[in-house]
């Protein structure tokens, strides 16, 4: 089955202590879509400007991503620039040029509206709502977010959380949302907002699922070298959704393994700037790391 | 088989945002010994002053801890006082009164010298060396440490690391020792110092083993409420060693499960001030949480 993914499609200029990479393909939807494409057909919803490099359209197409929902508008593509510190756990935004993203309203093509799996990747909650409003009884909806929306659109975000099957956020955001510093206490609080599944991402410490089957402690894939963690959380959500869309059986039965696939897809994302590493791998490379994670967690 | 444990035996005064608890039984050896006692006979090596409360001797004895190696000297018992912040991840030392600990030289009773399992819990590296010098071919030696020794006795510590089978430290200490911020890179560097196994503890994020069987990603037990994390790392090492001392088969084959037992023992430690919670549980409570961790990591 196919996955519909809505989110940002951007150009990222990323600086680390070791290198500088201007105008890479980025944005939550780009990372999630490429990650999901290893498992299932993907329908992308996003917006870019007329300046959007053709090579990135080619990249999407190479991953068989359906671009009917990619709006190309007069103006400039959303451009984000950020800088990482040595330990990669802290980054600061240097520049945000919204461009065509400022007036983006996601219109779903007819062929998208019956997609069974919907990933509302990080984007304004109002736009996430707008996409959901256009969908016809999706089977499974996941939403991600970022701290910005907790700061400026918390009410809309909380309403969105009620409407989704699975809500994904990182530990800092969970703390901000619940005022609880403890991940397990935060999970309980977010559950009360509505979703059947809640996942808190903890970067290199993995992620925790709370669902009907109890907690699942999902490891991160061991990486001795992290090149650029931008998009890792989006890759995680994309890999998870791509896996779920094609796995046989129930979501309850598959979601844990889906998170493992998400963690592995995210690990490749961290090994190159932007999507550079992710776009060089094949499904077999993912399967190899999944087996390694099985071995690294067995006791 | 029995476990010999050397380390500090102290009185801890612990302050948190919620409570204040003066002169609890504490110290690395106390926490490790009680944790190990759920699995195997324990021989304690430490020093206390004449002021050491009788109720704590009774507590050790209730856990069948052999006290032949506990020296009782003229003077005061080591007293440490610390304060935790709201999130329990940061603490500051308010007071350190070394007392009889200042001139402590661990003398091993004859009956201790052939102990097959030796845990050199956190204490000055010189004293850890001194204990090892007195041992007769132990089967398995684990050493723990703290940041203080990296600051003031790094050379002695590095020499000790060479002499042990398994070295345990937390992520901050691993960073300080290796100058690497990445846990997996740090594990590789510490391996080069000699030990067959290296374990990096990450508090509520669990721990990572690097050994001949590759990495093992060991989860922490999910705790929505942490009361006092003092001694959790010591409980982890104690539980691990206690389990290993009685498990059938090879260390290679048992060490992962041993870490799970250590993680569970540490979880009880975090649920009460000092040893208050740990001393109320039974082996069956530990087994229950081990089963829960099995369930929470399966995929």
Query: Do residues B100 and B76 touch, judged by C-beta distance below 8 A?
Result: yes
B85 touching chain A per CB within 8 A: no
CA distance B92 to B85: 8
Look at residue B279 and tell me whether its pLDDT is greater than 90: yes
Judging contacts by C-beta atoms under 8 Å, the chain B residues touching residue A206 are 205, 217
Phi and psi angles of residue B51, each rounded to the nearest 5 degrees, phi first: -80, 0
pLDDT at B16: 87
Name the pTM for this structure.
Answer: 0.96
B298 touching chain A per CB within 8 A: yes
Q: Do A223 and B299 touch (CB under 8 A)?
A: no
Distance of CA B52 to the CA centre of its chain: 21
Confidence category of residue B173, pLDDT binned at 50, 70, 90: very high
Alpha helices (runs of H) in B4-50, residue ranges in sequence order = 28-36
Q: In terms of CA atoms, which chain A residue is nearest residue B202? A: A205
Across the interface, of B88, B184, B259, the residue whose CB is closest to A223 is: B184
Q: Do A217 and B86 touch (CB under 8 A)?
A: no
Across the interface, of B224, B257, B293, the residue whose CB is closest to A185 is: B224
Across the interface, of A182, A208, A257, the residue whose CB is closest to B299 is: A257
> For B8-25, how does the pLDDT look when each residue is reduced to its tens digit (9 = 90+)?
999 999 998 888 999 999
Look at residue B268 and tell me whether its pLDDT is greater than 80: yes
pLDDT at A17: 83
Average pLDDT, integer, range A10-19: 91
Q: Do A224 and B188 touch (CB under 8 A)?
A: yes
The interface residues of chain B toward chain A in range 167-186, judged by CB-CB distance below 8 A, are 181-185
Own/partner pairs, A205-213, CB within 8 angstroms, 24+ separation: A205/B202, A205/B205, A205/B206, A206/A263, A206/B205, A206/B217, A207/A236, A207/A259, A207/A263, A208/A183, A208/A184, A208/B222, A209/A255, A209/A256, A209/A259, A210/A184, A211/A252, A211/A255, A212/A252, A213/A252, A213/A256
Helix H, strand E, coil C: the string for A61-118 is: HHCCEEEEEEEEECCCCCEEEEEECCCCCCEEEEEEECHHHHHCCCCCCHHHCCCCEE
Confidence category of residue B90, pLDDT binned at 50, 70, 90: confident
Look at residue A19 and tell me whether its pLDDT is greater than 90: no
* Distances in whole angstroms, Cα of residue B115 to Cα of each of B90, B140, B234: 36, 9, 19
The interface residues of chain B toward chain A in range 259-278, judged by CB-CB distance below 8 A, are 259-260
Q: Do A214 and B88 touch (CB under 8 A)?
A: no
CA distance B274 to B84: 13
pLDDT at A152: 96
Across the interface, of B202, B205, B295, the residue whose CB is closest to A214 is: B295
> For A115-144, how does the pLDDT look when each residue is reduced to its tens digit (9 = 90+)?
999 999 999 999 999 999 999 999 999 999
Query: Do residues A9 and A33 touch, judged by C-beta distance below 8 A?
Result: no
pLDDT at A86: 78
Q: Is the dihedral of CA B97, B99, B105, B110 positive or negative?
A: negative
> For A53-91, how does the pLDDT look when each residue is reduced to its tens digit (9 = 90+)?
999 999 999 999 999 999 999 999 999 999 998 777 778
CA distance B64 to B121: 19
Query: Do residues B193 and B221 touch, judged by C-beta distance below 8 A?
Result: no
CA distance B88 to B269: 14
> For B24-81, how does the pLDDT look when each residue is reduced to its tens digit (9 = 90+)?
999 999 999 999 999 999 999 999 999 999 999 999 999 999 999 999 999 999 999 9
Structure tokens at A23: 């105008």
> For B108-126, how does the pLDDT look when each residue is reduced to its tens digit (9 = 90+)?
999 999 999 999 999 999 9
CA distance A2 to B202: 38
Judging contacts by C-beta atoms under 8 Å, the chain B residues touching residue A260 are 299
* Distances in whole angstroms, Cα of residue B46 to Cα of each of B49, B119, B127, B160, B169: 11, 12, 11, 19, 21
pLDDT at A88: 76
The position carrying tokens 């010999």 is B4
In percent, the amount of chain B with pLDDT more than 90 equals 95
Alpha helices (runs of H) in B9-119, residue ranges in sequence order = 28-36, 54-62
What 3-state DSSP class applies to B8? coil
In percent, the amount of chain B with pLDDT more than 70 equals 100
**DSSP designation for B78:** P
A240 touching chain B per CB within 8 A: no
């Amino acid at each position: 089955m196919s996955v519909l993914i809505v989110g940002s499609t951007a150009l990222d200029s990323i600086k680390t202590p070791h290198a500088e990479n201007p105008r890479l393909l980025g944005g939550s939807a780009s990372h999630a879509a490429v990650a999901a494409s290893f498992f299932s057909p993907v329908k992308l919803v996003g917006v870019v400007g007329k300046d959007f490099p053709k090579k990135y359209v080619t990249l999407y197409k190479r991953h068989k991503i359906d671009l009917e929902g990619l709006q190309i508008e007069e103006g400039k593509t959303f451009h984000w620039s950020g800088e990482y510190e040595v330990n990669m756990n802290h980054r600061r935004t240097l520049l945000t040029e919204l461009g065509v993203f400022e007036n983006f309203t996601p219109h779903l093509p007819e062929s998208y509206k019956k997609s069974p799996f919907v990933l509302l990747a990080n984007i304004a909650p109002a736009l996430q709502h707008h996409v959901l409003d256009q969908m016809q009884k999706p089977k499974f909806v996941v939403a991600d977010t970022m701290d910005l929306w907790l700061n400026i659109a918390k009410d809309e975000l909380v309403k969105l959380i009620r409407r989704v099957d699975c809500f994904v956020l990182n530990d800092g955001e969970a703390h901000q949302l619940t005022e609880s510093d403890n991940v397990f206490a935060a999970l309980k609080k977010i559950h009360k907002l509505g979703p059947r599944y809640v996942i808190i991402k903890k970067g290199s410490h993995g992620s925790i699922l709370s669902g009907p089957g109890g907690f699942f402690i999902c490891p991160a894939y061991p990486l001795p070298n992290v090149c650029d963690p931008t998009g890792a959380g989006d890759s995680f959500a994309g890999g998870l959704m791509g896996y779920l869309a094609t796995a046989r059986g129930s979501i309850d039965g598959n979601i844990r393994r889906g998170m493992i696939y998400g963690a592995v897809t995210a690990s490749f994302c961290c090994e190159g700037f932007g999507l550079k590493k992710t776009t060089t791998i094949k499904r077999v490379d993912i399967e190899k790391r999944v087996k390694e994670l099985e071995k690294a967690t067995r006791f």
